[in-house]
Chain A
């Protein structure tokens, strides 16, 4: 039976197709208009301007004046006194009192400083020629106003030791301010370089009530860039600040495009939509070794920063079999760092012997205990400790040597590391159970010490060693939980406090030595590899690219080609 008449069907199909095509075209036009002009509530966004500037930037890019970079999240609130923006973005607009560059603290808004003998007063001398991007002066009055706004909510920032000891900021004269501390703090200058929450904004940044906790009026600072345009969730364009008192950027525009997925970012680089991608979380976290190597093979410049922090395994000294020193020492010997560096991190990074890199302030010691990879030694230690092999794993008093490795289920790098540890430790008779958790449960579990092994990382420069050591004393960190079982924990915390408050560098070094020596003797950490920031860029567009921290990107130093 013939179901349909051919001619009618043709007409029908034509009709449906035409309707669909017309509909699609209409939707497309709508999509184009609203997509191109997509705006947010941001006061800085103008729909058409965004679209116009976008195309304008594409043109300037051809002239080598726009650097287009992929970032994983939106530029956020741009409030220098809160945590609503990525740190690298805060640094574009705002300056701190000091700046951390190439492993040392240099002047920022402050040109120079004097420290009182008792270490409780810091006198900062400001650059008299420095102005904000709106032309208003960077003087003592505005510095005090910024710090007063931050200190009003100091309890929200007390994870930084600075906010526990900074009493007040006083105006000495128009271009001199005095920071008065309740106790000396050797890490003050380094912490003043951090991207938040103590960067300095202009008067125009303050809302009418002067309270910057929730919002600011306009993102105006004295940094190398100023916000020029923005479509929230999509991109932000920064124009160089010609009034910047440091090195004025070579590029006229810096366009940050939000691309949450690193594979998409890599494809975007290949397609020429962006000029650079990077992974501030460190190699292997978002940008895999495969992606890095593939892009390098495709002709892009693919580089790694110098080591910026240390990737470790923290062993919980207060819970389960890892309470025993011998078990922790055996684990440290059993872990094959070289293999992990090769297989998990694609051979991109070097292995680490110490918790803190020797380059870190007060951390250059030769007598710290280093646990070489030695399976036989690990077995011997466990044998002597009474853990005997029964089948695949060891037992003592009928209890199996079983430990947990807690990790974020969505983090492939952590999962791969867990599997490597599982294989390494099985060779010496230790059964490792992998425990994947949602990120929130992961952090809660590490806070409560509900793990035997956990991946940990030093905070990196410029947080190390001060802010990181300071965190050892707070129960909400995995470090605290991991260290809490060792008999010297109270002394370690005391030594940290004494180091932070030391006015004599020798004392600070001595205390730091005690902390690091104790932690290595007690085998609380297995240092694995040094974290390095991978970055890939189009060398035809940009040169002089470098990274030296996990939080800051010195875009103003990059040169246009």
Chain B
């Protein structure tokens, strides 16, 4: 197992190298003049001389390979440069915002698991009966509601009509509740149905029949075998989606004025803040790779057959 983890971590190196090239290349391929974007974002009316000055200051007048290797050399030492917009080091800026996004994604994940697992089990237990149908409708509605619509609805109800929760901000736990619920609804709908179907599928498998024939109690069959097996697709999908939660939190963060990565990167893209965008892409790549690794390890823990395959 340790060998497997080390191997996966070593693969990070060539992947990150490729990501660095893609990050650098993609950012340079963005349409528009980066110098003008920088000046516009700063509120400075651009003049020919200013554009030239900015180009030199930012080093855009040098050949691309020179710019790339200079950036890469620093990035290897975890120095992603200084943001053009905030004039601060990119690394700490990204990590500061990541902490908020991780809080949001983490709390949303807990809500998702806390709601979708009981919902999925309940639906499976009551398959094709009233509770299952109710859950089906909830899942259908939940997966159809975009966050830019659901968020304001929740604000109207819980913040403005009832006054229970704040509209925006990030200074207390109460501020976390509405954005996290907004972010979770789609995933709750997905996972509850996924788990329900997986449970039903596994309950019809031969190992369940065999277990019953061996006289194993129904309780043990469910907890030790069926649920565990049924969780595998849920964990795999959840692993992929956790990365998406981190990377796709922009709308929720803007709606609730949550100071996370999404809000940060939207401003950075508008201002063509190359160091920040490059740092963000590399950070996202690392997060996706690590989350996938963690997902694989959990899957291995759940499924002994996978362990043998390693």
| Cα separation A20 to B118 with both chains bound (whole Å) | 10
User: For residue B257, which residues in chain A have a CB less than 8 angstroms away from its CB?
Assistant: 234, 257-261, 264, 268
Q: A77-B87, A87-B43, A155-B53 are in contact. Are A38 and B32 (CB under 8 A)?
A: no
Closest CB of chain B to A343's CB: distance in Å? 24
Residue of B nearest to A3 (CB): B203
Binding stretch for chain B, among A246-254, A377-385, A470-478: A470-478
The interface bits of chain A over 466-491 (1 if a CB of B lies within 8 angstroms of the residue's CB, else 0) are 01000100111100000000000000
Q: Is the beta-carbon distance between B44 and A471 smaller than 8 angstroms?
A: no
Binding stretch for chain B, among A4-12, A136-144, A315-323: A4-12
Q: Is the beta-carbon distance between A263 and B30 smaller than 8 angstroms?
A: no
Closest CB of chain B to A370's CB: distance in Å? 28
Residue of B nearest to A21 (CB): B114
User: What bracket does the count of chain A residues touching chain B fall in?
Assistant: 35 or more
A36 within 8 A of partner (CB): yes
Q: Is the beta-carbon distance between A273 and B167 smaller than 8 angstroms?
A: yes
Selected A-B contacts with CB under 8 Å, 28 pairs: A4-B218, A8-B223, A12-B121, A12-B227, A16-B113, A20-B111, A31-B107, A83-B44, A155-B50, A233-B96, A233-B264, A234-B170, A259-B168, A260-B257, A263-B152, A267-B160, A268-B168, A271-B163, A273-B167, A273-B169, A438-B32, A440-B31, A440-B34, A440-B37, A443-B37, A471-B45, A476-B48, A477-B46
Q: A4-B125, A214-B87, A477-B45 are in contact. Are A440 and B114 (CB under 8 A)?
A: no
Binding stretch for chain A, among B172-180, B238-246, B289-297: B172-180
Q: Is the beta-carbon distance between B169 and A443 smaller than 8 angstroms?
A: no
| Cα separation A51 to B170 with both chains bound (whole Å) | 11
Closest CB of chain B to A199's CB: distance in Å? 14
A441 within 8 A of partner (CB): yes
| Cα separation A170 to B114 with both chains bound (whole Å) | 70
Chain B: residues with CB nearer than 8 A to chain A?
30-34, 36-37, 40, 42-51, 53, 85-89, 92-93, 96-97, 99-100, 103, 106-107, 110-111, 113-115, 117-118, 121-122, 124-125, 127, 152, 155-156, 159-160, 163, 166-173, 175-176, 200, 203, 217-219, 222-223, 227, 254-257, 259, 263-264, 267, 270, 272
User: For residue B46, which residues in chain A have a CB less than 8 angstroms away from its CB?
Assistant: 159, 443, 447, 476-477
From B50, B103, B218, B259, A156 is in contact (CB under 8 Å) with B50
Q: Is the beta-carbon distance between B48 and A475 smaller than 8 angstroms?
A: yes
Q: Is the beta-carbon distance between A441 and B31 smaller than 8 angstroms?
A: yes
Q: Is the beta-carbon distance between B99 and A474 smaller than 8 angstroms?
A: no
A232 within 8 A of partner (CB): yes
A217 within 8 A of partner (CB): no
From A32, A233, A271, B259 is in contact (CB under 8 Å) with A233
User: For residue B89, which residues in chain A have a CB less than 8 angstroms away from its CB?
Assistant: 41
A135 within 8 A of partner (CB): no
Q: Is the beta-carbon distance between B203 and A270 smaller than 8 angstroms?
A: no
Closest CB of chain B to A85's CB: distance in Å? 9
Q: Is the beta-carbon distance between A441 and B32 smaller than 8 angstroms?
A: yes
User: For residue B88, which residues in chain A have a CB less than 8 angstroms away from its CB?
Assistant: 41
Residue of B nearest to A231 (CB): B171
Q: Is the beta-carbon distance between B50 and A159 smaller than 8 angstroms?
A: yes
Q: Is the beta-carbon distance between A270 and B160 smaller than 8 angstroms?
A: yes
Q: Is the beta-carbon distance between B176 and A31 smaller than 8 angstroms?
A: yes
User: For residue A5, which residues in chain B have a CB less than 8 angstroms away from its CB?
Assistant: 217-219, 222
A182 within 8 A of partner (CB): no
Closest CB of chain A to B5's CB: distance in Å? 25
**A440-B272, A471-B45 given. 20 additional CB < 8 A pairs?**
A3-B200, A4-B222, A8-B222, A12-B121, A17-B114, A20-B110, A35-B103, A38-B100, A38-B170, A41-B92, A41-B96, A51-B171, A83-B44, A158-B49, A159-B46, A260-B263, A267-B159, A447-B46, A467-B45, A474-B48
